């Protein structure tokens, strides 16, 4: 029996982690193209923090609750859904609403939980895997042996990019903040982890021939340093701005090296785009997960009621892999 009301993290406003409190909300009803998921766990992601601060409003029609990825059991399906049935275990990319007992999700944004993956750990798969795949591989011919530089290798995006890049035959270099974190990144498949407190990543990467693809969440002074580390015809992908989005830069290297500098957000992309990414992940990335070549990396699992503590942990930036909320 599906209840009419559910527990959810209902922010009291915008601001710090203390605005995240447990409250009640009506259980959503799935639209014709949606499934209703009884949530087992939800992932905590950088955009959740930005939304909590009031700078990342949900798209029109989406839930105002935080939470962009979940795992759980399908408990109801819309009239047009043919690929899922009640009782299926799935993980899913959401447009919001994951910090709750139930969430309605587009059926095309759901994926079967890979064999061998715990249902809670599966909550940490969708957001980072959709992001990494859509930015690095979707629509691009990425040759084996290309050098991928991943900034922030110990985080959720970084640890995913390292593993997927290595599984796809890329040479993966990454940056980390300590020797211990560097060793951990190399254990995930990075060919070279650079402790940025002791080494200049620009020098290390240039000695290796330059980066063909750079995945960056730092920005600030890293923007021009990425230009220097890039090879000719490289792609630089900006996913976040930990050091700020405003800076004065010299764009001459973009012209001289024929660089492509791009960025993206995932939540605002069309539903059909996300469904296409889900299909590509199922065909290309889910098999290496089931073979044990790629592993979900979970840093901590906290109860839903401790969403505030999860955000504080995220902001401390000492985590390795994903932080999850168990419902």
Residue-level pLDDT at 174: 98
Q: What angle do CA 6, 322, 134 make, to 5 degrees?
A: 95
Give the count of alpha carbons within 13 A of 111, CB side only.
Answer: 34
Residue-level pLDDT at 54: 96
State mean pLDDT over 71-98. 98
State mean pLDDT over 224-233. 98
pTM of the model: 0.95
Quick count: other Cβ atoms within 10 Å of Cβ 258? 11
pLDDT > 90? residue 210: yes
Got the DSSP string for 262-285?
Answer: EE--STTS-HHHHHHHHHHHHHHT
State mean pLDDT over 217-240. 97
Beta-bridge mates of residue 148: 172, 213
Least confident piece of the model among 29-38, 53-62, 295-304: 53-62
Which residues of 78-152 form beta strands (DSSP E)? 89-93, 102-106, 110-112, 147-150
State mean pLDDT over 268-287. 97
pLDDT > 90? residue 11: yes
Backbone angles phi, psi at 121, to 5 degrees: -60, -30
Confidence of residue 98 (pLDDT cuts 50, 70, 90): very high
With a pLDDT cut of 70, the percent of the chain lying above it is 100
Cα distance between residue 226 and residue 313, in whole Å: 28
Read off the tokens for 197: 């407190």
Element of type H or E holding 225:
helix 222-229
> Which is more confidently placed, 69 or 317?
69
Angstrom CA distances, 3 to 91, 189, 214, stand at: 21, 45, 46
Residues with Cβ within 8 Å of 118's Cβ and at least 6 positions away in sequence, in order, are: 296
3 state SS of 231: strand
State mean pLDDT over 215-239. 97
C-alpha dihedral (72, 78, 83, 84), degrees to nearest 10: 30
Residue-level pLDDT at 232: 98
Confidence of residue 318 (pLDDT cuts 50, 70, 90): confident
CATH topology of domain 5-125+267-326: Quinone Oxidoreductase; Chain A, domain 1 (3.90.180)
Longest CA pairwise span in the chain (Å): 63
290-301 pLDDT, tens digit per residue, is: 999 999 999 999
pLDDT > 90? residue 2: yes
Quick count: other Cβ atoms within 10 Å of Cβ 62? 15
Angle between helices 156-167 and 179-188 (to 10 degrees): 40
pLDDT > 90? residue 317: no
CATH topology of domain 130-263: Rossmann fold (3.40.50)
Instruction: State the average pLDDT for the chain.
Output: 97
114-169 pLDDT, tens digit per residue, is: 999 999 999 999 999 999 999 999 999 999 999 999 999 999 999 999 999 999 99
Question: So where are the chain's domains?
Answer: 5-125+267-326, 130-263
State mean pLDDT over 252-263. 97
Cα distance between residue 220 and residue 16, in whole Å: 23
């Amino acid at each position: 029996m599906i209840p009419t009301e559910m527990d959810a993290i209902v922010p009291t406003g915008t601001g710090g982690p203390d605005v995240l409190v447990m409250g009640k909300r009506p259980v959503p009803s799935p639209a014709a193209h949606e499934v209703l998921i009884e949530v087992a766990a939800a992932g905590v992601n950088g955009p959740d923090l930005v939304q909590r601060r009031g700078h990342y409003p949900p798209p029109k029609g989406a839930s105002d609750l935080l939470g962009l990825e979940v795992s759980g059991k399908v408990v109801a399906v819309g009239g047009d859904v043919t690929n899922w049935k009640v009782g299926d275990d799935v993980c899913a990319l959401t447009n919001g609403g994951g910090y709750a007992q139930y969430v309605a999700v587009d059926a095309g944004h759901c994926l079967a939980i890979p064999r061998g993956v715990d249902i809670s750990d599966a909550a940490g798969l969708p957001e980072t895997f959709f992001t990494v795949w859509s930015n690095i591989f979707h629509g691009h011919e990425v040759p084996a042996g290309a050098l991928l530089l991943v900034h922030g290798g110990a985080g959720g995006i970084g640890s995913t990019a390292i593993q997927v890049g290595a599984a796809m035959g890329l040479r993966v270099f990454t940056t980390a903040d300590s020797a211990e974190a560097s060793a951990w990144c190399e254990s995930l498949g990075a060919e070279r982890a650079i402790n940025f407190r002791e080494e200049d990543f620009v020098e290390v990467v240039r000695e290796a021939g330059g980066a063909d693809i750079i995945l960056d969440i730092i920005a600030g002074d890293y923007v021009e340093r990425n230009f220097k580390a890039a090879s000719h015809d490289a792609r630089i992908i900006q996913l976040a701005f930990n050091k700020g989005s405003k800076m004065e830069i010299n764009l001459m290297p973009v012209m001289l090296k024929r660089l492509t500098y791009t960025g993206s957000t995932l939540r605002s992309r069309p539903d059909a785009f996300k469904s296409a990414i889900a299909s590509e992940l199922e065909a290309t990335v889910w098999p290496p997960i089931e073979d044990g070549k790629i592993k979900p990396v979970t840093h901590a699992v906290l109860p839903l009621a401790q969403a505030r503590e999860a955000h504080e942990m995220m902001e401390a930036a000492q985590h390795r892999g994903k932080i999850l909320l168990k419902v």
